[in-house]
Amino acid sequence: MQAVFSEKLFQLKVILWLLTACWVVAQDEDIVRTCTDYKTSLFVETQEFSLLYEGAPIIRKTRDKCKAYAPVIIGGAPAIPKEFPHAARLGHRDDEGKVNWFCGGTLISNRHILTAAHCVLSFEGTINIVRLGELEFDNNKDDAQPEDFGVQSRIVHPGYDHPVIYDDIAILKLDRNVTFNEYKHPACLPFTDGRKSSSFIAIGWGQTALVPRRGSESSKILKKVKLFNFNTRCKLTAEINEELPNGYNASSQICIGSHESSQDTCNGDSGGPVLTIHKQYPCMYHVEGITSVAVACDTPDFPGMYTRVHYYLDWIKKEMAKP
Ligand SMILES: *[C@@H]1O[C@H](CO)[C@@H](O)[C@H](O)[C@H]1NC(C)=O
Ligand SMILES: *[C@@H]1O[C@H](CO)[C@@H](O)[C@H](O)[C@H]1NC(C)=O
């Protein structure tokens, strides 16, 4: 009896090990490594010291400062300082220097911003200014380090074909490198396709370019909201129209929604991220989705469609590698 049991247990262990191995193999090595490098560059402190005799070895002591930020509340709340150092706000600066901020984005390297194609090709104007390190606009006393960057190039996914909103993904290359600190630091690309994530965090200052909110007024402070994975529900709720001629595409889109009916917290900025927290590093986030088709925010349980970033990893890596 005992022997049979332990053999069964062994078999179970082998199966579990194989499953884990497959899962690990399925992850993209470069992306995993880059993510760890980003985390280490900011959250791991190395101190070197040596004892006071000649030829004493150098001793290195590392301190890991990576810890979780404030919990994300369902229904939404203002972000706290340094909570989302990858949050970008994108805008158009006219000849007189007046800026119209109309979309969000995510810092994913020291030079690149991930956003939506419909933002880059928006009727609001060409994105020529990117603000990083911001928390509350028009407030100099908040704990933030805002810095504006110009845009060197804009890469829109070749599959994007307005007004159809499939392949709603684009990359901006900034005009100079971002120096990382606690206020400006990238999010990691996703390790998985997000199908197993039950919830996400959407952030933004509150622009929705596609469906303007009733009485819409953007927020000055960055906000966060917890949203849920509605899986294939979008197959039923997505209206077939000129924007979505084939309805919801589960390979390239994530179906995410809220159970609340709060208008100003049902999603983030168009082009901005939906995030998950890194499983080992609670200070790091993955950008799993890009806010794409905004939905009527006053209808609870009516999910929206977000670009599934994982589906586009090869394209993103290829474009980021270009000089
Ligand atoms: C900008 O960053 C890239 C990639 O990290 C690096 O190769 C390059 O030397 C940097 N350029 C400057 C001017 O620091
Ligand atoms: C989903 O999109 C991909 C990429 O554009 C495409 O190859 C695939 O056929 C689409 N699937 C459906 C069911 O439309």
pLDDT of residue 51: 77
> 28 alpha carbon to ligand 1 midpoint, in Å?
23
Which ligand lies nearest the alpha carbon of 34?
Answer: 1
pTM for the full predicted model? 0.87
pLDDT of residue 57: 82
| Beta-carbon count within 10 A of 143 CB | 11
Would you list the domain boundaries of the chain? 77-320
pLDDT of residue 258: 83
> 86 alpha carbon to ligand 1 midpoint, in Å?
18
| Cα–chain center distance at 141 | 26
pLDDT in tens, 6-45: 666 666 665 656 555 545 556 899 999 999 999 999 999 8
Backbone angles phi, psi at 15, to 5 degrees: -60, -45
Tokens of 98: 């007046």
- Which residues of the chain, if any, have pLDDT below 50? 1, 22, 208-216, 263-265
- Name the CATH topology of 77-320: Thrombin, subunit H (2.40.10)
Residues 202/274, Cβ–Cβ less than 8 Å:
yes
Choose one of 161, 240, 251, 313 to mutate for the ligand 2 pocket test, by most ligand atoms within 8 angstroms of C-beta: 251
pLDDT in tens, 51-65: 778 888 888 888 899
pLDDT of residue 290: 95
> What does R_g of the chain's alpha carbons equal in angstroms?
22
267/264 Cα distance (integer angstroms): 8
Tokens of 41: 């560059």
